């Protein structure tokens, strides 16, 4: 009986193993359904070639267009009044200060009296000469005596002319006691002090002619050769304000120490520009052709600029480019991109090299 039971158990076990082998291999677990791949929807544009002005970046100081020094023309007189101060806008001939003129007026009165005396002496000499001429016809006076009367007339005429000249000199000195503006402009400095006794030639005021300020941009020899009178310039002041100007003068020589020259850019009156500021700006040179794309098409990665070129199979390839000028919402491509290429307009930051995209709309150019 024991052998029979052992054989039965072995058979049952064999059947169980064979059943596991058969049914386990015949019914594998169902595979997961594949996930549909998604792609970014993009617009495609082509580079556009157009004429752009060339930009020259420079920096320099702001200074007056021309500065006038107003000095005392006569000396040893006291400043009696001050009628202008720093920051005042004045007109040509406007009185800025006056000097005490009491002594000059007294001198003028003295010269008037000298003129009257010389005129009387001339009248007397002429009368004497006329009478001598009548007497001389009778032979009572010699020719030498007649000549003396004529010389006295000439001497009296010379004395009168000298007295009139002295009077004019005094009147000029009297007019110089009024310190006036030599031109329209803005008072930028004042050294005159009330009550100070001035010397002839001492500076009293300093004035910016017409209130005009200019930007003195510093350029090297290579840059200087590209600048012309009349070109437009955009200046950025230290406070961020933008001022437009125009090239007035290009220096004909370079500084022997710095090898740089100045370009003088006139700025409009009334701007926030002030002498003594140091500012940077751009000078627009002669225009040139530029290959442009929208600035949204350029992606910056690892310090380099890239665009994504669209292939026929709607896969993109990342391509390095060299960028140049920027203007508005466009950027110039100076290298690394064919003019016929189609590139992704925007969204490049979300793309990788070889990624598949869905084309939403294609445009003929980058405008």
**pTM of the complete model:** 0.64
- Say what the pLDDT of residue 348 is: 86
Q: How far is residue 207's CA from residue 305's CA, in Å, rounded to a whole number?
A: 51
What residues contact residue 11 under an 8 Å CB cut-off, 6+ apart?
none
Q: How far is residue 210's CA from residue 92's CA, in Å, rounded to a whole number?
A: 10
The 3-class SS string of 27-59 reads CCCCCCCCCCCCCEEEEEECCEEEEEEEEEEEE
Q: How far is residue 309's CA from residue 46's CA, in Å, rounded to a whole number?
A: 10
9 forms beta bridges with: none
Reduce the DSSP state of residue 358 to 3 states and report it: strand
Q: How far is residue 337's CA from residue 325's CA, in Å, rounded to a whole number?
A: 15
Tokens of 67: 């500065």
Domains, the chain, ranges and CATH? 42-51+289-362 (2.40.420.20), 56-65+209-288 (2.40.30.170), 70-98+180-208 (2.40.50.100), 101-176 (1.10.287)
- Say what the pLDDT of residue 20 is: 38
What residues contact residue 202 under an 8 Å CB cut-off, 6+ apart?
71, 72, 75, 191
Tokens of 267: 């700025």
Q: What are phi and psi of 135, to 5 degrees?
A: -65, -35
Note whether 199 and 238 are within 8 A (CB): no
Helix (H) and strand (E) counts in the chain: 4, 21
Note whether 224 and 283 are within 8 A (CB): no
- Say what the pLDDT of residue 139 is: 74
Note whether 273 and 243 are within 8 A (CB): yes
264: left (phi over 0), alpha (psi -120 to 50) or beta: beta
Q: How far is residue 251's CA from residue 224's CA, in Å, rounded to a whole number?
A: 9
Give the CA radius of gyration of the chain.
49
- Say what the pLDDT of residue 272 is: 87
Q: How far is residue 48's CA from residue 289's CA, in Å, rounded to a whole number?
A: 10
Q: How far is residue 185's CA from residue 67's CA, in Å, rounded to a whole number?
A: 9
Q: Counting every residue, how long is the chain?
A: 367
Q: What are phi and psi of 147, to 5 degrees?
A: -65, -35
Per residue of the chain (367 residues), give pLDDT as tens.
334 334 343 343 443 434 433 344 444 545 444 434 457 889 999 999 998 888 889 999 999 999 999 999 999 999 999 999 999 999 999 999 999 999 999 999 999 999 999 999 999 999 988 888 887 777 777 888 888 888 999 999 999 999 999 999 999 999 999 999 999 999 999 999 999 999 999 999 999 999 999 999 999 998 898 899 999 999 999 888 899 999 999 999 999 898 999 999 999 988 889 999 999 999 988 888 899 999 999 999 988 999 999 988 889 999 999 998 888 899 999 999 998 999 999 988 888 889 999 888 655 444 4
Tokens of 143: 């020719």
Note whether 314 and 359 are within 8 A (CB): yes
- Say what the pLDDT of residue 35 is: 38
Q: How far is residue 44's CA from residue 201's CA, in Å, rounded to a whole number?
A: 74
- Say what the pLDDT of residue 26 is: 45
């Amino acid at each position: 009986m024991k052998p029979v039971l052992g054989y039965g158990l072995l058979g049952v076990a064999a059947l169980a193993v064979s059943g596991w082998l058969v049914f386990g291999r015949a019914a594998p677990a169902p595979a997961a359904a594949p996930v549909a791949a998604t792609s970014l929807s993009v617009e495609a544009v082509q580079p556009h070639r157009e004429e752009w002005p060339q930009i020259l970046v420079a920096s320099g100081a702001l200074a007056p267009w021309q500065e006038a020094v107003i000095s005392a023309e006569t000396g040893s007189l006291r400043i009696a009044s001050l009628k202008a101060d720093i920051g005042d806008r004045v007109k040509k001939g406007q009185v800025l200060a006056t000097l005490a003129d009491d002594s000059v007026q007294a001198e003028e009165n003295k010269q008037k009296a000298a003129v009257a005396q010389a005129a009387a002496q001339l009248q007397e000499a002429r009368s004497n000469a006329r009478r001598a001429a009548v007497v001389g016809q009778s032979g009572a006076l010699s020719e030498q005596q007649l000549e003396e009367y004529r010389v006295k007339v000439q001497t009296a005429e010379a004395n009168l002319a000298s007295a009139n000249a002295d009077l004019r000199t005094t009147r000029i000195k009297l007019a110089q006691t009024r310190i006036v503006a030599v031109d329209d402009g803005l008072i930028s400095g004042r050294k005159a002090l009330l009550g100070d006794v001035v010397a002839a030639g001492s500076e009293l005021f300093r004035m910016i002619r017409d209130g005009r300020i200019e930007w003195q941009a510093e350029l090297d020899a290579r840059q200087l050769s590209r600048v012309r009178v009349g070109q437009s310039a955009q200046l950025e002041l230290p406070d961020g304000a933008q001022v437009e100007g125009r090239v007035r003068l290009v220096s004909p020589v370079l500084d022997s120490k710095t090898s740089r020259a100045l370009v003088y850019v006139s700025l409009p009156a009334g701007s926030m520009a002030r002498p003594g500021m140091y500012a940077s700006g751009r000078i627009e040179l002669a225009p040139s052709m530029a290959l442009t794309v929208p600035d949204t098409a350029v992606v910056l990665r690892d310090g380099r600029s890239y665009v994504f070129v669209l292939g026929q199979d709607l896969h993109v390839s990342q391509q390095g480019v060299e960028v140049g000028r920027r203007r508005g919402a466009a950027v110039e491509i100076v290298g690394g991109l064919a003019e016929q290429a189609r590139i992704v307009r925007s969204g490049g930051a979300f793309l990788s090299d070889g990624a598949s995209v869905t084309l939403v709309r294609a445009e003929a150019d980058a405008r």
